[in-house]
Amino acid sequence: MQVLILGAGQLARMMSLAGAPLNIQVMAYDVGSQTVVHPLTLQRYDFSLAQAIEGVDVITAEFEHIPHDVLDVCGASGKFLPTTDAIKAGGDRRLEKALLDRAGVANAKYHIINTRADLDAAIAHVGLPMVLKSALGGYDGKGQWRLKERSQADAIWEEMAAFLTETPEQAIVAEEFVPFDREVSLIGVRNRQGEVRVYPITENVHVDGVLNLSTAIVDAQAIQQQADEMFTAVANALNYVGVLAIEFFDVGGKLLVNEIAPRVHNSGHWTQQGAETCQFENHLRAVCDLPLGSTALLRPTAMINILGEDQIPASVVATAGTHVHWYGKEKRAGRKMGHINVCANTPAELENQLKALATQLDALAFPALPR
Ligand code: AMP
Protein backbone atom coordinates (compact mmCIF):
# COMPACT_ATOMS: atom_id res chain seq x y z
CA MET A 1 0.00 0.00 0.00
CA GLN A 2 1.34 3.47 -0.90
CA VAL A 3 0.12 6.51 1.03
CA LEU A 4 0.78 10.18 0.29
CA ILE A 5 0.54 12.51 3.29
CA LEU A 6 -0.04 16.22 2.79
CA GLY A 7 2.45 17.81 5.19
CA ALA A 8 5.99 16.66 5.93
CA GLY A 9 6.41 17.28 9.66
CA GLN A 10 6.70 15.01 12.67
CA LEU A 11 3.20 13.59 12.27
CA ALA A 12 3.98 12.31 8.76
CA ARG A 13 7.27 11.00 10.12
CA MET A 14 5.57 9.05 12.90
CA MET A 15 2.89 7.71 10.53
CA SER A 16 5.66 6.50 8.25
CA LEU A 17 7.36 4.70 11.17
CA ALA A 18 4.06 3.12 12.24
CA GLY A 19 3.17 2.05 8.71
CA ALA A 20 6.40 0.18 7.91
CA PRO A 21 5.54 -3.08 9.78
CA LEU A 22 2.24 -3.20 7.86
CA ASN A 23 4.07 -2.79 4.55
CA ILE A 24 2.51 0.64 4.13
CA GLN A 25 4.91 2.97 2.34
CA VAL A 26 4.49 6.63 3.09
CA MET A 27 5.65 9.67 1.17
CA ALA A 28 5.03 13.24 2.20
CA TYR A 29 4.16 16.43 0.34
CA ASP A 30 5.91 19.46 1.80
CA VAL A 31 3.38 22.23 1.28
CA GLY A 32 5.99 24.97 1.84
CA SER A 33 8.51 23.86 -0.79
CA GLN A 34 5.82 22.15 -2.92
CA THR A 35 7.91 19.01 -3.21
CA VAL A 36 7.30 15.33 -2.54
CA VAL A 37 9.76 14.08 0.07
CA HIS A 38 10.68 11.01 2.10
CA PRO A 39 9.01 11.57 5.51
CA LEU A 40 12.07 10.47 7.52
CA THR A 41 15.04 11.79 5.55
CA LEU A 42 13.14 14.68 3.88
CA GLN A 43 15.02 13.83 0.67
CA ARG A 44 13.14 15.02 -2.39
CA TYR A 45 11.62 12.57 -4.80
CA ASP A 46 12.07 13.26 -8.46
CA PHE A 47 8.38 13.58 -9.27
CA SER A 48 5.60 16.11 -9.02
CA LEU A 49 2.54 16.22 -6.77
CA ALA A 50 0.37 15.19 -9.74
CA GLN A 51 2.57 12.13 -10.35
CA ALA A 52 2.48 11.23 -6.64
CA ILE A 53 -1.32 11.51 -6.59
CA GLU A 54 -1.48 9.24 -9.63
CA GLY A 55 0.92 6.67 -8.14
CA VAL A 56 -0.42 6.16 -4.60
CA ASP A 57 -3.41 4.18 -3.30
CA VAL A 58 -4.50 6.64 -0.62
CA ILE A 59 -3.93 10.33 0.19
CA THR A 60 -4.31 11.80 3.66
CA ALA A 61 -3.08 14.82 5.66
CA GLU A 62 -1.08 15.58 8.78
CA PHE A 63 -2.32 19.13 9.20
CA GLU A 64 -5.29 21.28 8.32
CA HIS A 65 -3.68 24.44 6.94
CA ILE A 66 -3.36 23.17 3.38
CA PRO A 67 -4.02 25.42 0.37
CA HIS A 68 -7.49 24.61 -0.92
CA ASP A 69 -6.27 24.15 -4.51
CA VAL A 70 -3.98 21.32 -3.33
CA LEU A 71 -6.80 19.80 -1.30
CA ASP A 72 -9.20 20.03 -4.22
CA VAL A 73 -6.81 18.28 -6.63
CA CYS A 74 -6.32 15.50 -4.07
CA GLY A 75 -10.08 15.31 -3.43
CA ALA A 76 -10.78 15.03 -7.18
CA SER A 77 -8.57 11.92 -7.35
CA GLY A 78 -11.11 10.09 -5.18
CA LYS A 79 -8.24 8.87 -2.96
CA PHE A 80 -8.31 11.50 -0.22
CA LEU A 81 -9.38 10.62 3.34
CA PRO A 82 -10.69 11.69 5.92
CA THR A 83 -12.54 14.05 3.46
CA THR A 84 -11.49 17.45 2.20
CA ASP A 85 -14.46 19.00 4.07
CA ALA A 86 -13.08 17.72 7.38
CA ILE A 87 -9.67 19.28 6.67
CA LYS A 88 -11.28 22.56 5.64
CA ALA A 89 -13.40 22.60 8.85
CA GLY A 90 -10.27 22.01 10.93
CA GLY A 91 -8.52 24.95 9.24
CA ASP A 92 -11.31 27.52 9.51
CA ARG A 93 -12.92 28.25 12.87
CA ARG A 94 -16.12 29.50 11.17
CA LEU A 95 -16.63 26.12 9.46
CA GLU A 96 -15.59 24.32 12.63
CA LYS A 97 -18.18 26.14 14.74
CA ALA A 98 -20.89 25.47 12.11
CA LEU A 99 -19.91 21.79 12.16
CA LEU A 100 -20.11 21.58 15.96
CA ASP A 101 -23.56 23.20 15.91
CA ARG A 102 -24.70 20.84 13.13
CA ALA A 103 -23.45 17.83 15.10
CA GLY A 104 -25.30 19.16 18.17
CA VAL A 105 -22.27 19.14 20.47
CA ALA A 106 -21.75 21.69 23.26
CA ASN A 107 -19.19 24.40 22.49
CA ALA A 108 -18.38 27.91 23.74
CA LYS A 109 -20.86 30.64 22.71
CA TYR A 110 -19.45 32.58 19.74
CA HIS A 111 -19.94 35.39 17.25
CA ILE A 112 -18.14 35.99 13.96
CA ILE A 113 -16.45 39.37 13.50
CA ASN A 114 -15.66 41.10 10.20
CA THR A 115 -16.31 44.75 11.12
CA ARG A 116 -16.08 47.09 14.13
CA ALA A 117 -19.88 46.87 14.51
CA ASP A 118 -19.55 43.06 14.69
CA LEU A 119 -17.21 43.48 17.67
CA ASP A 120 -19.92 45.40 19.56
CA ALA A 121 -22.47 42.75 18.59
CA ALA A 122 -20.07 40.07 19.83
CA ILE A 123 -19.70 41.82 23.19
CA ALA A 124 -23.49 41.92 23.50
CA HIS A 125 -23.95 38.29 22.45
CA VAL A 126 -20.93 36.54 23.99
CA GLY A 127 -20.27 38.79 27.00
CA LEU A 128 -16.97 39.75 28.65
CA PRO A 129 -14.32 38.54 29.13
CA MET A 130 -13.99 36.99 25.68
CA VAL A 131 -11.36 35.24 23.61
CA LEU A 132 -10.86 36.42 20.02
CA LYS A 133 -9.39 33.92 17.59
CA SER A 134 -8.39 34.25 13.95
CA ALA A 135 -10.66 32.12 11.76
CA LEU A 136 -7.82 31.02 9.47
CA GLY A 137 -4.28 29.93 10.28
CA GLY A 138 -4.60 29.88 14.06
CA TYR A 139 -2.98 27.14 16.10
CA ASP A 140 -1.15 26.72 19.41
CA GLY A 141 -2.71 29.94 20.68
CA LYS A 142 -1.41 32.02 17.72
CA GLY A 143 -3.66 34.76 16.35
CA GLN A 144 -5.54 35.20 19.64
CA TRP A 145 -6.53 38.13 21.78
CA ARG A 146 -8.28 38.47 25.14
CA LEU A 147 -10.82 41.24 25.66
CA LYS A 148 -11.57 41.83 29.32
CA GLU A 149 -13.24 45.24 29.40
CA ARG A 150 -15.27 47.27 26.96
CA SER A 151 -12.78 50.16 27.31
CA GLN A 152 -10.16 48.02 25.53
CA ALA A 153 -12.39 47.42 22.50
CA ASP A 154 -11.07 50.28 20.30
CA ALA A 155 -7.42 49.39 20.88
CA ILE A 156 -8.01 45.70 20.23
CA TRP A 157 -10.02 46.48 17.11
CA GLU A 158 -7.10 48.48 15.71
CA GLU A 159 -4.85 45.43 16.09
CA MET A 160 -7.46 43.07 14.71
CA ALA A 161 -8.28 45.32 11.74
CA ALA A 162 -4.60 45.32 10.70
CA PHE A 163 -4.55 41.54 11.09
CA LEU A 164 -7.74 41.12 9.03
CA THR A 165 -6.32 43.02 6.07
CA GLU A 166 -3.23 40.76 5.95
CA THR A 167 -5.09 37.67 4.71
CA PRO A 168 -8.02 37.61 2.29
CA GLU A 169 -11.04 35.67 3.62
CA GLN A 170 -9.79 36.16 7.18
CA ALA A 171 -12.26 36.80 10.04
CA ILE A 172 -12.24 36.69 13.83
CA VAL A 173 -14.30 34.32 15.92
CA ALA A 174 -15.21 35.82 19.31
CA GLU A 175 -15.77 33.20 21.96
CA GLU A 176 -16.99 33.40 25.54
CA PHE A 177 -14.14 32.96 28.03
CA VAL A 178 -14.61 29.50 29.54
CA PRO A 179 -13.51 29.22 33.21
CA PHE A 180 -12.44 25.61 32.77
CA ASP A 181 -11.12 23.32 35.51
CA ARG A 182 -8.89 21.47 33.08
CA GLU A 183 -8.39 20.74 29.39
CA VAL A 184 -8.87 17.23 28.04
CA SER A 185 -8.91 15.67 24.60
CA LEU A 186 -10.23 12.56 22.96
CA ILE A 187 -8.46 10.80 20.14
CA GLY A 188 -10.48 8.26 18.21
CA VAL A 189 -10.66 6.56 14.87
CA ARG A 190 -13.51 5.81 12.46
CA ASN A 191 -13.24 3.44 9.52
CA ARG A 192 -14.96 3.37 6.13
CA GLN A 193 -17.72 1.14 7.52
CA GLY A 194 -18.52 3.70 10.25
CA GLU A 195 -16.99 1.71 13.12
CA VAL A 196 -15.64 4.00 15.85
CA ARG A 197 -12.96 3.25 18.47
CA VAL A 198 -11.71 5.77 20.99
CA TYR A 199 -8.69 5.94 23.26
CA PRO A 200 -8.92 6.78 26.96
CA ILE A 201 -9.44 10.51 27.45
CA THR A 202 -6.27 12.57 27.93
CA GLU A 203 -5.66 15.45 30.35
CA ASN A 204 -3.60 18.24 28.77
CA VAL A 205 -1.58 21.06 30.28
CA HIS A 206 -0.92 24.01 27.95
CA VAL A 207 1.57 26.78 28.70
CA ASP A 208 1.15 29.99 26.66
CA GLY A 209 -1.28 28.13 24.38
CA VAL A 210 1.19 25.30 23.61
CA LEU A 211 0.73 21.72 24.79
CA ASN A 212 3.36 20.73 27.36
CA LEU A 213 2.10 17.62 29.13
CA SER A 214 -0.57 15.00 28.30
CA THR A 215 -1.64 12.20 30.61
CA ALA A 216 -4.01 9.36 29.74
CA ILE A 217 -6.77 9.34 32.36
CA VAL A 218 -7.49 5.90 33.71
CA ASP A 219 -10.73 6.50 35.65
CA ALA A 220 -12.79 9.19 33.95
CA GLN A 221 -15.98 7.30 33.16
CA ALA A 222 -18.45 10.21 33.29
CA ILE A 223 -16.48 12.56 31.02
CA GLN A 224 -15.24 9.68 28.88
CA GLN A 225 -18.85 8.86 28.01
CA GLN A 226 -19.68 12.50 27.17
CA ALA A 227 -16.55 12.75 25.05
CA ASP A 228 -17.26 9.45 23.26
CA GLU A 229 -20.77 10.61 22.34
CA MET A 230 -19.55 13.97 21.04
CA PHE A 231 -16.74 12.27 19.13
CA THR A 232 -19.19 9.92 17.41
CA ALA A 233 -21.56 12.79 16.59
CA VAL A 234 -18.78 14.87 14.97
CA ALA A 235 -17.16 11.93 13.15
CA ASN A 236 -20.51 10.77 11.78
CA ALA A 237 -21.50 14.31 10.73
CA LEU A 238 -18.30 14.43 8.62
CA ASN A 239 -18.53 10.80 7.42
CA TYR A 240 -14.98 10.81 8.71
CA VAL A 241 -12.37 8.13 7.99
CA GLY A 242 -9.16 8.12 10.06
CA VAL A 243 -7.99 9.51 13.38
CA LEU A 244 -9.77 12.60 14.66
CA ALA A 245 -8.87 14.58 17.78
CA ILE A 246 -11.28 16.69 19.80
CA GLU A 247 -10.10 19.11 22.47
CA PHE A 248 -12.48 19.94 25.31
CA PHE A 249 -12.81 22.25 28.29
CA ASP A 250 -13.90 20.39 31.42
CA VAL A 251 -16.10 22.75 33.41
CA GLY A 252 -17.23 21.06 36.63
CA GLY A 253 -17.50 17.69 34.91
CA LYS A 254 -19.35 19.04 31.86
CA LEU A 255 -17.45 19.04 28.57
CA LEU A 256 -17.48 21.83 25.97
CA VAL A 257 -15.67 21.32 22.68
CA ASN A 258 -12.79 23.78 22.20
CA GLU A 259 -11.61 22.63 18.80
CA ILE A 260 -11.21 19.68 16.50
CA ALA A 261 -8.13 18.47 14.66
CA PRO A 262 -8.89 16.26 11.63
CA ARG A 263 -5.68 14.25 12.03
CA VAL A 264 -3.40 12.51 14.47
CA HIS A 265 -2.71 14.87 17.36
CA ASN A 266 0.05 15.86 19.78
CA SER A 267 -2.14 14.86 22.75
CA GLY A 268 -2.29 11.32 21.32
CA HIS A 269 1.46 10.72 21.15
CA TRP A 270 1.30 8.77 24.43
CA THR A 271 -0.51 5.98 22.53
CA GLN A 272 2.86 4.94 21.02
CA GLN A 273 3.79 3.28 24.31
CA GLY A 274 0.53 3.42 26.29
CA ALA A 275 -2.02 1.81 23.97
CA GLU A 276 -2.32 -1.48 22.17
CA THR A 277 -2.28 0.26 18.76
CA CYS A 278 -0.92 3.79 18.47
CA GLN A 279 -2.86 6.63 16.82
CA PHE A 280 -0.46 6.71 13.83
CA GLU A 281 -1.01 3.06 13.01
CA ASN A 282 -4.76 3.33 13.51
CA HIS A 283 -4.98 6.30 11.17
CA LEU A 284 -3.18 4.33 8.46
CA ARG A 285 -5.29 1.24 9.14
CA ALA A 286 -8.48 3.30 8.73
CA VAL A 287 -7.52 5.12 5.53
CA CYS A 288 -6.04 1.93 3.99
CA ASP A 289 -9.22 0.00 4.84
CA LEU A 290 -7.46 -2.45 7.15
CA PRO A 291 -9.20 -3.64 10.36
CA LEU A 292 -8.88 -1.09 13.18
CA GLY A 293 -6.47 -1.90 16.01
CA SER A 294 -7.39 -2.05 19.68
CA THR A 295 -7.33 1.34 21.44
CA ALA A 296 -7.07 -0.24 24.90
CA LEU A 297 -4.74 1.31 27.46
CA LEU A 298 -1.74 -0.90 28.22
CA ARG A 299 -0.52 1.04 31.27
CA PRO A 300 -0.70 4.54 32.74
CA THR A 301 1.26 6.79 30.35
CA ALA A 302 2.08 10.48 29.98
CA MET A 303 3.75 12.52 27.25
CA ILE A 304 6.10 15.46 27.81
CA ASN A 305 6.71 17.77 24.85
CA ILE A 306 10.31 18.81 24.19
CA LEU A 307 10.03 22.46 23.09
CA GLY A 308 12.99 24.42 21.72
CA GLU A 309 15.60 21.95 23.08
CA ASP A 310 17.71 19.53 21.05
CA GLN A 311 19.23 17.60 23.94
CA ILE A 312 18.05 16.01 27.14
CA PRO A 313 20.17 14.44 29.89
CA ALA A 314 21.27 10.83 29.31
CA SER A 315 19.79 10.00 32.72
CA VAL A 316 16.30 10.65 31.26
CA VAL A 317 16.98 8.28 28.37
CA ALA A 318 18.27 5.74 30.90
CA THR A 319 15.14 5.87 33.10
CA ALA A 320 13.04 2.70 32.91
CA GLY A 321 9.61 3.31 31.35
CA THR A 322 10.87 6.39 29.47
CA HIS A 323 10.86 6.57 25.65
CA VAL A 324 12.31 9.51 23.75
CA HIS A 325 11.05 10.43 20.27
CA TRP A 326 13.02 13.06 18.37
CA TYR A 327 11.67 14.64 15.18
CA GLY A 328 15.05 15.37 13.51
CA LYS A 329 14.36 19.12 13.34
CA GLU A 330 16.70 22.06 13.56
CA LYS A 331 16.57 23.78 16.95
CA ARG A 332 14.43 26.91 17.18
CA ALA A 333 12.97 28.65 20.27
CA GLY A 334 9.67 27.09 21.26
CA ARG A 335 9.67 24.61 18.35
CA LYS A 336 8.25 21.12 18.90
CA MET A 337 11.50 19.12 18.70
CA GLY A 338 10.41 15.80 20.16
CA HIS A 339 8.55 14.22 23.04
CA ILE A 340 9.10 11.82 25.92
CA ASN A 341 6.57 9.10 26.71
CA VAL A 342 6.63 7.95 30.31
CA CYS A 343 4.99 4.68 31.37
CA ALA A 344 4.32 3.22 34.81
CA ASN A 345 2.34 0.46 36.47
CA THR A 346 -0.06 2.71 38.39
CA PRO A 347 -1.15 6.39 38.20
CA ALA A 348 0.65 7.07 41.53
CA GLU A 349 3.84 5.54 40.16
CA LEU A 350 3.49 7.65 37.01
CA GLU A 351 3.20 10.83 39.11
CA ASN A 352 6.39 9.83 40.94
CA GLN A 353 8.14 9.10 37.64
CA LEU A 354 7.21 12.58 36.37
CA LYS A 355 8.46 14.19 39.59
CA ALA A 356 11.74 12.28 39.29
CA LEU A 357 12.15 13.41 35.66
CA ALA A 358 11.38 17.00 36.70
CA THR A 359 14.51 17.00 38.85
CA GLN A 360 16.58 16.16 35.75
CA LEU A 361 14.91 18.54 33.28
CA ASP A 362 15.19 22.33 33.18
CA ALA A 363 12.22 23.98 34.92
CA LEU A 364 12.01 26.78 32.33
CA ALA A 365 11.94 24.38 29.38
CA PHE A 366 9.55 21.92 31.05
CA PRO A 367 7.24 24.14 33.11
CA ALA A 368 4.27 21.74 33.30
CA LEU A 369 6.08 18.92 35.11
CA PRO A 370 5.03 18.36 38.74
CA ARG A 371 7.76 19.69 41.06
P1 AMP B 1 -6.82 27.08 20.91
O2 AMP B 1 -5.78 27.42 19.89
O3 AMP B 1 -8.20 27.46 20.52
O4 AMP B 1 -6.74 25.65 21.37
O5 AMP B 1 -6.45 27.94 22.21
C6 AMP B 1 -5.21 27.81 22.88
C7 AMP B 1 -5.45 27.79 24.37
O8 AMP B 1 -6.08 29.01 24.79
C9 AMP B 1 -6.39 26.68 24.83
O10 AMP B 1 -5.72 25.46 24.97
C11 AMP B 1 -6.89 27.25 26.15
O12 AMP B 1 -5.94 27.07 27.17
C13 AMP B 1 -7.02 28.73 25.85
N14 AMP B 1 -8.40 29.06 25.38
C15 AMP B 1 -8.84 28.97 24.11
N16 AMP B 1 -10.14 29.32 24.02
C17 AMP B 1 -10.54 29.63 25.26
C18 AMP B 1 -11.80 30.05 25.84
N19 AMP B 1 -12.88 30.24 25.08
N20 AMP B 1 -11.83 30.25 27.17
C21 AMP B 1 -10.74 30.08 27.94
N22 AMP B 1 -9.52 29.72 27.46
C23 AMP B 1 -9.42 29.48 26.15
| Strand bridging mode 58-61 / 2-6 | parallel
In a domain, 364, yes or no: no
Distance 258 CA to ligand 1 centre (A): 7
Mind listing the pLDDT tens digit for each residue in 304-327? Answer: 999 999 999 999 999 999 999 999
- Inside any domain, residue 99: no
Whose Cα sits closest to atom 5 in ligand 1? 141
- Give the chain's mean pLDDT: 96
274 SS3 class: helix
Query: Does 94 map to a domain?
Result: no
Q: How far is the CA of 259 from the centre of ligand 1 (A)?
A: 9
Contacts of 43 (CB under 8 A, 6+ apart): 37
CA distance to 82, 208, 296, per residue, from 6 (Å): 12, 28, 28
pLDDT in tens, 27-53: 999 999 999 999 999 999 999 999 999
- Nearest CA residue ID for atom 10, ligand 1: 209
Which amino acid, one-letter code, is at 113?
I
- pLDDT at position 59: 98
Residues 226 and 139 occupy one common structural domain: no
What is the CA(183)–ligand 1 centre distance, in A? 9
Does ligand 1 come within 6 angstroms of the Cβ of 141?
Answer: yes
Which residue, 176, 206, 227, sits at the end of a domain? 176
What DSSP letter does each residue of 140-177 carry, written as one string?
TT-SEEEE-SGGGHHHHHHHHHHHHHHSTT--EEEEEP
Residues in the chain: 371
Rounded CA separation 348/330 (Å): 36
**Shared domain check, 26 and 168:** no
Distance CA(167)–CA(299), nearest Å, equals 45
Query: What's the CA-to-centroid distance between 209 and ligand 1, angstroms?
Result: 7
Same domain, 60 and 129: no
How far apart are alpha carbons 174 and 109 in whole angstroms?
8
Q: Which residues contact 56 (CB under 8 A, 6 or more apart)?
A: 2, 3, 4, 27, 79
Q: What is residue 139's predicted lDDT score, i.e. its pLDDT?
A: 66
Phi, psi of 68 (to 5 degrees): -65, -30
* Percent residues over pLDDT 90 in the chain: 94
In this prediction, residue 141 has a pLDDT band, given cuts at 50, 70 and 90, of low
Q: How many angstroms does the Cα of residue 58 sit away from the middle of ligand 1?
A: 33
Q: Does 250 sit in the ligand 1 pocket, CB within 6 Å?
A: no
CATH at 31: 3.40.50.20
Residue 247 lies in a domain: yes
> Is the confidence at residue 142, as pLDDT, over 90?
no
pTM: 0.97
> Span 123-136, mean pLDDT?
96
Same domain? 241 vs 315: yes
HSE-up (13 A, CA, CB side) for residue 291:
2
Q: Residue 328 domain-assigned?
A: yes
Give per-residue pLDDT as tens, 172-230. 999 999 999 999 999 999 999 999 999 999 999 999 989 999 999 988 889 999 999 99
Rounded to 5°, the CA angle 250-256-258 comes to: 100
Q: Are residues 12 and 141 in the same domain?
A: no
d(CA 14, CA 258): 25
291/168 same-domain check: no
> In this predicted model, what pLDDT tens digit does every residue of 334-360 receive, in sequence order?
999 999 999 999 999 999 999 999 999
Q: Are residues 156 and 54 in the same domain?
A: no
Question: Ligand 1 center to residue 85 CA distance, Å?
Answer: 23
What lies within 8 Å, CB to CB, of 194 at 6+ separation is 236
pLDDT in tens, 289-305: 999 999 999 999 999 99
Residue 62: helix, strand or coil by DSSP?
A: coil
Could you tell me the residue range of the domain that residue 44 belongs to? Answer: 2-80
Closest to 202 measured CA to CA, from 93, 317, 295: 295
**Last residue of one domain, picked from the residues 176, 192, 221:** 176
Domain membership flag for residue 20: yes
Task: Say what the pLDDT of residue 140 is.
Answer: 64
Q: Is 127 in the pocket of ligand 1 (CB under 6 A)?
A: no
Tens-digit pLDDT profile for residues 77-99: 999 999 999 999 999 999 999 99
Which of 64, 125, 128, 131 is the best mutation target for the ligand 1 pocket, counting ligand atoms within 8 Å of the beta carbon and taking the most?
Answer: 131
Say if residue 213 is in the same domain as residue 64: no
Atom of ligand 1 nearest to the CA of 130: 19
> What pLDDT, on a 0 to 100 scale, did the predictor assign at position 219?
85
Q: Which pLDDT score is estimated for 15? A: 98
Check residue 115 and give its pLDDT. Answer: 95
